Amino acid sequence: MYKTSFTSSKEELFSLICRYQPIARSDIAEIVGLTRASVSNMTKELIALHLIRESKKVGNGIGRKKVLLEVKDNGIHTIGINIGRRSIFVGLYDAAGRNLWKRVRSYTMIHTLQEYLSEVKELTTELINWAQDREINIDAIGVGIPGPVDSESGIYRASHFLKYEIVNIKKIMEDEFSIPTYVERDVNAAVLGERFFGAGRRCETFAYLLIVEGIGAGTVLDGHLYRGAHGLAGKIGRLIFPKEQSKESTLSLEEMGSELSALKVAEEYAQKDKNGYLYKVLQQRPLHIDDILQAVREGDLTAMQVVDVMVHYASIAVANLVFLLDPKLIIISGDFIGIPTNFVGKLSEKVKKMLPDRPLPKLIGSHLYDLSISLGAATRALSETVSTKIRNIS
């Protein structure tokens, strides 16, 4: 059985049970390299805190059946919020990562973060009222948002929305709802969701590529989310390349690909072709990412070209991740994964051609899909709540 990195903390034990459940105490001891007695003592405390429980399922094997452990799904409930540039997703999750309630709002135009937060507070109030009617206690709130954000203070400083803003999201939400709130960069939140409940559950080092309007990356190294010294790790679109025949000037991957925005690429192609679904939409209003997805479903040739462009630049990002991290797994997520173009298959084939002599990681599409950032934000809130409960009895 694969040995995982482990620091003997109860928080990490909870994480392991969450990722491997249902699992026997003896199997936990084998994975983490602790004695069965140590594991039994630690799990007793987690059971007393109503964080885990003994499962009704029993383990296989000869002789005495193993008692299996699992997360107590109704022990903790957290809200996960994804604030995108053109959409908001608010969801409620139990400790097993199951979505119990969700609302989505989409927008054609980009608004200010303050305007989006007003919408978020409205949806969160609706969620809390729904939960109270069912006697569900909300333990914490997690928020995922694009761009630079201090994951400790919850302060956002960037211009990913309509204008440059400095906003303390943590304080705003806690003042409004009196519920502990944690804020994470969107792609890092999604990585946490994959680590606990997705394809990265049993992989100690993996990369995550989020492809929406642009391309961003997050990584788990030796079992832990890597944010970087300034919380900016994973800016894969900002990798620097020299300009052709220039010793002084450089280009980033984003600049090479029209700022790596699928919408800008789609607009350029539609204006050039002056035909098809996207061109007709563009004559009435600015394009939305959903327009590209719908155009692909309708077989629009311009939209298919946009997908090919995103595959090309995503393959460059993947190749650089392979050279930099040598990960066992790369999870691909974002809007393009859910459309019938075999995006991941095309991406995998292009990377193989680019790196014919390299051992390559497994490339898979995220099954969490549109839940990934919201669930990941809720997962950060779950982890913080577990840590708080454990600290309070230590």
CATH assignment of the domain containing 250: 3.30.420.40
20: containing domain: 10-71
Q: What is the share, in percent, of the chain residues with pLDDT greater than 70?
A: 90
| CA dist 169 → 110, 152, 165, 224, 382 (Å) | 18, 11, 11, 24, 18
Residue 287 backbone phi and psi in degrees, to 5: -75, 150
Q: Are residues 61 and 87 in the same domain?
A: no
Q: Identify any residues that bridge with 144 across adjacent strands, giving them in sequence order.
A: 82, 184
Q: Cα–Cα distance between 111 and 176 in angstroms, integer?
A: 21
Considering Cα of 294, then 296, then 300, then 306, what sign does the dihedral take? positive
Structure tokens at 340: 């019938």
Look at residue 236 and tell me whether its pLDDT is greater than 70.
yes
Residue 359 backbone phi and psi in degrees, to 5: -70, 130
Residue 221 lies in a domain: yes
Look at residue 275 and tell me whether its pLDDT is greater than 80.
yes
Mean pLDDT rounded to a whole number for the chain: 87
Q: Are residues 95 and 223 in the same domain?
A: no
Look at residue 268 and tell me whether its pLDDT is greater than 90.
no
Of 75-84, 234-243, 247-256, 383-392, minimum mean pLDDT range: 247-256
Token pair 């405390």 in the structure block, residue = 45
Tell me the per-residue pLDDT of 18-53, one tens digit each, with 9 for 90 and over: 999 999 999 999 988 888 898 999 999 999 999 999
Q: Are residues 275 and 313 in the same domain?
A: yes
Residue 86 lies in a domain: yes
Q: Cα–Cα distance between 156 and 172 in angstroms, integer?
A: 12
The predicted pLDDT at position 185 comes to 93
Tell me the per-residue pLDDT of 200-213, one tens digit each, with 9 for 90 and over: 999 999 999 988 76
Number of C-beta neighbours around residue 153 at 10 A: 12
Q: Are residues 134 and 184 in the same domain?
A: yes
Question: Averaged over 322-336, what is the pLDDT?
Answer: 90
Q: Are residues 350 and 212 in the same domain?
A: yes
Question: Averaged over 153-179, what is the pLDDT?
Answer: 90
Look at residue 196 and tell me whether its pLDDT is greater than 50.
yes
Look at residue 227 and tell me whether its pLDDT is greater than 80.
yes
5: confidence class by pLDDT, cuts 50, 70, 90: very low
Q: How many structural domains comprise the chain?
A: 3
Question: Averaged over 245-259, what is the pLDDT?
Answer: 48
Question: Averaged over 104-133, what is the pLDDT?
Answer: 93
Q: Are residues 233 and 339 in the same domain?
A: yes
Pair 219, 325: CB distance under 8 Å: yes
Q: Are residues 384 and 361 in the same domain?
A: no
pTM above 0.95, yes or no: no
Residue 271 lies in a domain: yes
Tell me the per-residue pLDDT of 53-96, one tens digit each, with 9 for 90 and over: 998 877 665 556 788 999 999 999 999 999 988 899 999 999 99
Question: Averaged over 130-159, what is the pLDDT?
Answer: 93
Q: Are residues 252 and 345 in the same domain?
A: yes
**Closest-CA residue to 306 (of 276, 284, 351):** 276
Residue 2 lies in a domain: no
